[in-house]
Amino acid sequence: LSLRLLPLGAEMLRKLVCSCCLVNACAFILQGNTALCTSCKSDSLPFQSRSAASPSMVSRRVLVAAASGAAIGINTHTAVYASQDPKDLTRLNKGLADVNYLLDNWEKETTNPNSGNQDPDRVRLFLGLRTTTSPLFQVEKLLVKAQDQVRDDDFEKWIAAVEGWNSHLNKVNELAYTSSFGEYNPGGGKDQVAKYLELARAEVLLCRDSLKDLIALLPL
């Protein structure tokens, strides 16, 4: 697959640098140190530890939040300045409803209503990858805030669900994008479009499963 390299704006570059510093700081904490990197003085560091949690659990929550924060900082498929309320947990159930609707109406929703051709890029609409109005737009920020409401006993499951969601979402993004150009690539055609679109559908199913797991671990 070919990768697109997009120019980094000043704000995105700042987020990338701060995220790298934050990940280094978390590694420093996990080694038993208490000093934090002071080069990142953002007012929106993507974590808050629970005062009642054990030091090891706090460190792990910090590390998970840092990793998610790094993903936010270098996410190039979303608008830099647009966002939704990162504390509104109802967005997860709304997003799940959108994903279920897409799967239940797959053929209709992945077909261009004007040309009648398959339109793989429409898949990304339902997963928050194209529009700022989707409840799953920049859902990474919401998951960072939500992790403080996860019980310590369930935190391993939370980590697995977040990792699953991120992995399958990235694959959907790649497959939908590749499928969009399948007809024009050498040796391509409508069969290639259909092939990659079906692969994307399999990843959407796994996204839905991960999203269900995340919702089940939260007090919704």
The pTM (predicted TM-score) of the whole model is: 0.67
What's phi and psi for 111, nearest 5 deg? -115, 130
Residue 87 has pLDDT above 80, yes or no: yes
The number of C-alpha atoms within 13 Å of 132 and in the hemisphere containing its C-beta is 8
Q: How far are the Cα atoms of 110, 125, 173, 181, 187 from residue 190, in angstroms, in the given order?
A: 14, 21, 19, 10, 10
Q: pLDDT over 90 for what percent of the chain?
A: 48
Mean pLDDT rounded to a whole number for the chain: 74
CA 19 – CA 74 distance, rounded (Å) = 9
Listed residue (5, 35, 36, 9) closest to 22, CA to CA? 36
Torsion angles phi and psi, residue 98, rounded to 5: -65, -45
Q: Are 22 and 74 in contact (CB under 8 A)?
A: no
Average pLDDT over residues 71-85: 49
Residue 155: the pLDDT is: 97
Residue 147: CB atoms within 10 A of its CB come to 23
Q: Using 50, 70 and 90 to split pLDDT, how confident is the model at 42?
A: very low
The whole-angstrom separation of Cα 33 and Cα 39 is 17
Highest mean pLDDT among 29-43, 107-121, 195-209: 195-209
